[in-house]
Amino acid sequence: MKTPKPHIRTRAFSLVEMLSVVAVIGIVSAIAVPNIGRINESARIAAAKRNAQSIASVCASAQAAGLDFVTDDLTQSIANVVQGGTASEGVFAGAFFGVPALSEAERFAATRYLLLDGDNLVYQANIIYNELSTGAEGPISDDVGGGGGRGDVFQWQSPDVTASYQDSPANSARD
C-alpha cells in the first residue's frame, strides 16, 4: 500500500499578478517623472527671479547713491550692476553696490525678468518666455521693440537656444 505524500503547497505570485504590478509601477513612474522635472524647472525659475530682483534692487540703490549702471543696452546694464561700483560722495561714500557672485548663466537667466525703462532697470515677474530656435552664442539684440517699456520684445541668443521675451498682455492692459 502506498502512503499518500503530504501535498506541500508553495505560495508564489502568478505571471498575471507580476505583470499587473509592473504595469502599475510603469504608470506611476510615467506620472511622477515629468513632475520631478517641473520641480527642478520651478527651482531654476525661482532662482532666476530672485537674481533679477537682486540686480534691480542693487541698481536702484546704486542710483540713489549717485552711481549710474544703466545704459541703452540691457545686457551691458546687467553686467555693470554685477561688476558693481563704489559710491564716492554723499551718505553712501565708500559703500559698494554690486552683485559680483552671479555667474554668466545666472545673469543670462535673470535677463528674462528685467526690462529697461528709461534710466531704470526694472524687475518684471510676468514676462512671457518663448523659445524660438537654436543658434550661435551671443546677444542678437537687447531691445528689439524700442525703448524697453511694457509690451516690447527682447531677444538674445545662447549656445543652446535663441529666445525672446515680451511683457505680459495682462500688465500692458493694466497700465
Domain ranges of the chain: 19-174
> Residues 70, 82: contact at Cβ < 8 Å?
no
Residues 6+ apart with CB under 8 A from 144: 152, 153, 154, 155, 164
Entry pTM: 0.57
- In whole angstroms, give the CA distance from residue 140 to residue 161: 11
Mean pLDDT of 90-98: 91
Question: Higher confidence at residue 89 or residue 162?
Answer: 89
Reported in sequence order, the residue ranges of the chain that DSSP labels E, i.e. its strands, are 85-86, 96-97, 114-117, 120-123, 128-133, 153-157, 162-166
- In whole angstroms, give the CA distance from residue 134 to residue 157: 8
Confidence of residue 127 (pLDDT cuts 50, 70, 90): low
Q: 19-33, 89-103, 150-164: which has the minimum mean pLDDT?
A: 150-164
